[in-house]
């Protein structure tokens, strides 16, 4: 323990003295977060002032128009109603609306008769997130209608009265839609500023967390590692110190950035305890990843290059630059393999008013990554000590 602390102290002194950790761990992410917030802030969903404006095109005053207008009203400004598609398109093109729902003539009658129909969403190209939300609402409404039809069909088959079955089923559908819209659109999102700060903080965490392990390779090259190992210091103490240095530098970087983001840019994090636990778990995962990458590198320069590649790829996949996960498909799966994704998701849950319980799933995944990759790292890094 004595040697571990001595090496840790020495490494921290060297890192702070050469200013690399200040630049990489603090200044660069703060500056980039400011830039990202300035350039892209409004593009991120869930801004505190995010209030999508929708319209509904309906030739007749039917049930579907009433439901969609109600949902749009609950998550944004009061929806505009249009009688023709042309009018609605003009409003969207002019930027007056983010998106409109187009209900074809005879849609409700077709549904009630057990037939099909197609809801259309026309979005403003400059409002991708609001358009995505509108598309999701329309899609969800469609799925709900299928359930309604199945419910009515089952009721009639069981001898029920269609006159009472139809209103009851549609009423259930309405309640479901409104509830989903509120949770997804209003709660589980970071505002643009908070997202930019969090994204940059976790992106640069990967760079900061490599410092401890990179110094092991430096020491091996410079001969000081051999000199340390010729003293009564066990290899485990050396590895422990390097891990502790990486962890402390990562923790310092992430903590300072979150605090600075709140103080300087108005980022809103939520429950401090939950955020603190998320930070610790994210740093642990980042340290494990850094250790694995360093463990397979032959030289300090190779380690740095590999770290850069891994950090950028994971950062992109994890949604630190833009929320890639919502695009769906393979990317959605890949993004869930990154600590960035879970950190941001955990923060989103907490920032929306959640507490430690809401952060725990993300914390759990981050700790799983830390433990699994940490086990691999322990093996490869011990080989580095004796190379």
Partner 1 sequence: MNVLEARDLAKSFGDLKAVDGVSFNIAPGETYGLLGPNGAGKTTSISMVCGLLEADAGEVRVMGQLMSPRTVAPKAHLGLVPQDLAVYPDLTARENIEFFGRLYGMKGKELSSRAGEVLEVIGLTERGNDRAKEFSGGMKRRLNIGIGLLHRPQLLILDEPTVGVDPQSRNAILESVEVLAGEGIAVLYTTHYMEEAERLCDRVAIIDEGKVKAEGTRRELVQLVGQNDRVSIAGTGPLAQVASMLGSIAGVTEATSHEQRVDLLVENASGRLPELLASAATAGMSISGVEVEEPNLEAAFLHLTGKALRD
Tell which one of 13, 182, 298, 383 touches partner 1 (CB under 8 A): 13
Order across the sheet with 99-103: list the strands. 80-82, 54-58, 99-103, 120-123
Q: Give the H/E segment covering residue 99.
A: strand 99-103
Interface of this chain with partner 1, residues 64 to 83, rule: CB under 8 A:
none
Query: Ramachandran region of residue 61, left (φ > 0), alpha (ψ -120 to 50) or beta?
Result: beta
Tell which one of 18, 73, 78, 96 touches partner 1 (CB under 8 A): 18
Interface of this chain with partner 1, residues 187 to 226, rule: CB under 8 A:
222-224, 226
Per-residue 3-state assignment (H helix, E strand, C coil) for 210-241? CHHHHHHHHHHHHCHHHHHHCCCCCHHHHHHH
Beta carbon nearer to partner 1, 232 or 329: 232
Strand partners, 102: 57, 120
Interacting residues of 82 by C-beta distance below 8 A, sequence separation 6+: 55, 56, 57, 58, 88, 91, 100
CB of 384 to partner 1, least distance (A): 14
CB of 211 to partner 1, least distance (A): 14
Count of residues in contact with partner 1, rule CB under 8 A: 23
What whole-number distance in Å separates Cα of residue 7 and Cα of residue 280? 22
Beta carbon nearer to partner 1, 124 or 215: 215
* Interaction pattern, residues 221-240, with partner 1; x per rule: CB under 8 A: -xxx-xxxxxxxxxx-----
Instruction: Report if residue 387 touches partner 1, rule: CB under 8 A.
Output: no
Q: Are 374 and 288 in contact (CB under 8 A)?
A: yes
CB of 15 to partner 1, least distance (A): 10
CB of 228 to partner 1, least distance (A): 6
Beta carbon nearer to partner 1, 66 or 227: 227
CB of 222 to partner 1, least distance (A): 7
Give the Å distances, CA to CA, from 127 to 42, 132, 177: 9, 9, 22
Residues of this chain that bind partner 1 (CB under 8 A): 2-3, 6-7, 10, 13-14, 17-18, 222-224, 226-235, 386
């Amino acid at each position: 323990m004595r040697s571990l602390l001595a090496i840790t102290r020495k490494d921290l002194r060297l890192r702070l003295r050469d200013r690399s950790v200040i630049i990489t761990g603090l200044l660069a992410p703060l500056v980039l977060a400011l830039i990202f917030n300035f350039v892209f802030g409004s593009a991120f969903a869930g801004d505190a002032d995010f209030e999508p404006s929708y319209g509904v095109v309906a030739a007749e005053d039917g049930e579907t128009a009433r439901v969609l207008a109600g949902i749009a009203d609950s998550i944004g400004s009061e929806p505009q109603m249009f009688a023709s598609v042309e009018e609605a398109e003009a409003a969207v093109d002019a930027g007056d609306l983010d998106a409109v729902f187009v209900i074809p003539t005879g849609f409700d009658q077709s549904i009630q008769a057990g037939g099909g129909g197609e809801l259309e969403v026309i979005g403003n190209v400059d409002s991708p997130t609001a358009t995505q939300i509108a598309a999701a609402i329309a899609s969800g409404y469609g799925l709900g209608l299928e359930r309604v039809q199945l419910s009515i069909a089952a009721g009639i088959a069981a001898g029920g009265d269609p006159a009472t079955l139809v209103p009851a089923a549609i009423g259930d559908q309405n309640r479901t839609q409104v509830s989903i819209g509120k949770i997804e659109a209003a709660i589980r999102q970071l505002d643009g500023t908070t997202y930019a700060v969090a994204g940059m903080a976790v992106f640069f965490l990967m760079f900061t967390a490599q410092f401890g392990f990179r110094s092991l390779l430096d020491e091996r090259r410079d001969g000081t590692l051999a000199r340390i190992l010729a003293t009564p210091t066990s290899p485990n103490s050396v590895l422990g110190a390097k891990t502790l240095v990486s962890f402390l530098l990562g923790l310092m970087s992430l903590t300072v950035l979150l605090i600075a983001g709140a103080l300087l840019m108005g980022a809103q994090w939520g429950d401090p305890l939950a955020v603190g636990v998320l930070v610790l778990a994210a740093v642990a995962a980042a340290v494990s990843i850094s250790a694995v990458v360093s463990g397979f590198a032959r030289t300090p320069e190779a380690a740095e290059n590999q770290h850069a590649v891994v950090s950028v790829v994971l950062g992109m996949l994890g949604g630190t630059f833009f929320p890639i996960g919502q695009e769906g498909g393979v990317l959605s799966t890949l993004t869930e393999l990154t600590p960035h994704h879970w950190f941001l998701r955990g923060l989103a849950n907490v920032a929306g008013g959640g507490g430690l319980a809401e952060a725990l799933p993300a914390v759990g995944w981050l700790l799983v990554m830390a433990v699994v990759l940490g086990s691999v790292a322990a093996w490869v890094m011990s080989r580095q000590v004796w190379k």
